[in-house]
Amino acid sequence: MLYPLSYEGWASIRAGLDDAPTLAANRYAWRLIAAIWEGLVIQETLRAALADAGVAEGLDVPAEIGLERPANPDHGDWSSNLAMVCSKQVDGPPRDLAARLVERLGAASIGHVRGVEIAGPGFINFRLDDGWLHDVLVSVHEAGVDGYGRSAVGAGRSINVEYVSANPTGPLHAGHGRGAIYGDAVASLLEATGWDVTRETYINDRGTQMQTYADSLTARAAGEEPPEGGYMGQYIADWAAEMPADADALEWGYARALQDQREVLDALGITFDVWFSERSLVGDGAIEDALERLRAREMVYEADGAVWLRSTEFGDDKDRVLVRSNGEFTYLTPDIAYHAQKFSRSDELINVWGADHHGYIARMKAAMAALGQNPDALDVRVTQMVKLMRDGEEVKLSKRTGDIVELRDVVDEVGADATRFTYLLQSVDSQQTFDLAHAASKQMDNPVFGTQYAHARLRRIADVRAAEVGVTRGPIEDADLSLLTQARELEILRVLFDGPGMVELAAAERAPHRLVQWVRDLASAVNSWYQDDECRVISEGNSAALTQARLQLVEAARIGLAAGLGILGVGAPESMWMDEAE
């Protein structure tokens, strides 16, 4: 590993590992070791130093010492709130405690730290030399596109991510798209952090809506209007025209709808490990088994000729019917069996549902609790609605479905990468306005374009421009990275430092938009750097060593963009010339 660790807290590592009074320092020593192992070490070095200072000051040091990179450069490179958090433990204002801590810190020599100061209500601000950022560059190279941002925090745990789960009675619409791409990105984030992930979708291929769908197809095939309450979209007529005269309308229509859905999902790069058929639960008696388990636990009762689940005992508003008085299951019952089955395959479950299913969460969690499962191991994520716009006007109609916009139309109009990226731009907690024209735009005001463009620019420098002047990037060990001193060069490295933490955060929060935000930040840093004459990679005024150092930076930034986009399922193009893109 490439970190010349000058922090003398190493002494405390050796001395303190079995020294009970310095348990806190001990904990930080181990964290420091782990950080060195993972390559990004500066944060834990500072934490270990702060922990030592705190322990020496007699403080009960918190398990997670607050340490962040302030947005305002006046506040230094790193900033800690330790003195404020611990001020209750001692007499006097936080700034005084901070002063004592800083004094103790000064005694140690901490790698890359040039100065420590107290600011505001008691922040301890560290100023570092640029070397810590050059270390970042090396670690990015070592990780590469396939390793950068990835970690093992979820290792050893399995998780099932269920998304899309649409009725096989027609095409997917734009609302499905949000859940589909969100679920897929969450699955990728969890994979990137070491989880054993199953991507799964549930097919509601049983029940009354299938018969309604079949009746609608049959009616259209006979040249009639669909029955009352039937499916009215133009696609029904189109598909009916394709349907062979002797086909079973339900089975044929089922296959047709599934094929249609699969095509769009394929176009978006979404593939499932498991397509779970609701019917299969009937075949293997899983529904009856689940009911039996609930009965055995005395979680059901009969009333008014129906079978009820005591879901109110687990926080639901009301008890829920499992078997109607006419003897049929409600929608809930097979779904309970399905979730129980998923729990037999994975440690944890994530469901991605549309906002209209929000009210369903409490009863499903209650059902899991009634079965003896931990309801907290079922994480239901709800995606708020999407409104489609084009040039400021709402788009409501689709060619085939009549009343809703098909996902296929979105992909056809803006392309798969832009569709994915645009859906992922915002938190799924907020309603989204998806402007089709904007998402397809080939200008910097479109974040998709700006990000991919940044990657293409880097490729152009590294592959084309360097070759034109007969330069190739050598081994990073031979590069003098200390030549990278320009503000915009260092800014790229700062953003690259944040990447792995952002992936971890985005995975933990199931919030891909956090990673999107980071990728945009990196692209923005790259695009600014690119236009800066002081940062030119290929230039007559540059020494060979400077060119080499900058080529290493180009590759690191490229790795960051490609890895981030890769986890999001968005392409990192080598070129974006219009004629090549079309």
Residues 338-397 within binding reach of RNA (CB under 7 A): 355-360, 362, 382, 384-385
Q: How far is the C-alpha of 300 from the C-alpha of 319, rounded, in Å?
A: 9
Q: Do 364 and 311 contact (CB within 8 A), yes or no?
A: no
- Written as six digits, the tokens of 134 are 């050059």
Beta-sheet pairing, 158-162 with 113-119 = unpaired
The least distance separating RNA from the CB of residue 426, rounded to whole angstroms, comes to 4
Neighbouring residues of 485: CB distance < 8 A, sequence distance ≥ 6: 130
Phi, psi of 306 (to 5 degrees): -120, 165
The residue (of 13 and 236) whose beta carbon lies closer to RNA is 236
Site map 56..75 versus RNA, x via CB under 7 A: ----------x---xxx--x
The residue (of 79 and 373) whose beta carbon lies closer to RNA is 79
Our finding on whether 293 is near RNA (CB under 7 A) is no
The residue (of 221 and 386) whose beta carbon lies closer to RNA is 386
Residue position matching structure tokens 């299969």: 280
Beta-sheet pairing, 113-119 with 78-80 = unpaired
The residue (of 5 and 361) whose beta carbon lies closer to RNA is 361
Our finding on whether 303 is near RNA (CB under 7 A) is yes
Tell me, what DSSP letter sits at residue 580?
A: H
Q: Do 530 and 488 contact (CB within 8 A), yes or no?
A: no
The residue (of 5 and 425) whose beta carbon lies closer to RNA is 425
Interaction with RNA in 180-209: which residues (CB under 7 A)? Answer: 204, 207-209
C-alpha distances out from residue 77 to 39, 130, 480, 490, Å: 19, 10, 22, 12
The residue (of 36 and 437) whose beta carbon lies closer to RNA is 437
Q: How far is the C-alpha of 117 from the C-alpha of 127, rounded, in Å?
A: 8
Phi, psi of 120 (to 5 degrees): 55, -140
Interaction with RNA in 115-144: which residues (CB under 7 A)? Answer: 119-123, 125
Q: Which of 220, 342, 513, 558 binds RNA (CB under 7 A)?
A: 513
Using the contact rule CB under 7 A, the part of the chain among 24-32, 219-227, 411-419, 516-524 near RNA is 516-524
Our finding on whether 507 is near RNA (CB under 7 A) is no
Interaction with RNA in 217-276: which residues (CB under 7 A)? Answer: none
Q: Which of 321, 377, 508, 546 binds RNA (CB under 7 A)?
A: 321
Using the contact rule CB under 7 A, the part of the chain among 95-103, 280-288, 365-373, 536-544 near RNA is 536-544
C-alpha distances out from residue 50 to 104, 113, 201, Å: 9, 13, 48
Q: How far is the C-alpha of 278 from the C-alpha of 287, rounded, in Å?
A: 10
Our finding on whether 581 is near RNA (CB under 7 A) is yes
Q: Which of 128, 189, 511, 561 binds RNA (CB under 7 A)?
A: 511
Interaction with RNA in 418-437: which residues (CB under 7 A)? Answer: 425-427, 429-433
Using the contact rule CB under 7 A, the part of the chain among 230-238, 249-257, 326-334, 402-410 near RNA is 326-334
Q: Do 421 and 451 contact (CB within 8 A), yes or no?
A: yes
The residue (of 124 and 221) whose beta carbon lies closer to RNA is 124
The residue (of 34 and 581) whose beta carbon lies closer to RNA is 581
Q: Which of 153, 250, 377, 538 binds RNA (CB under 7 A)?
A: 538
Residue 462's Cβ-count burial label (10 Å; 0-12, 13-18, 19+) is buried
Beta-sheet pairing, 378-383 with 348-354 = parallel
Interaction with RNA in 463-502: which residues (CB under 7 A)? Answer: 464-465
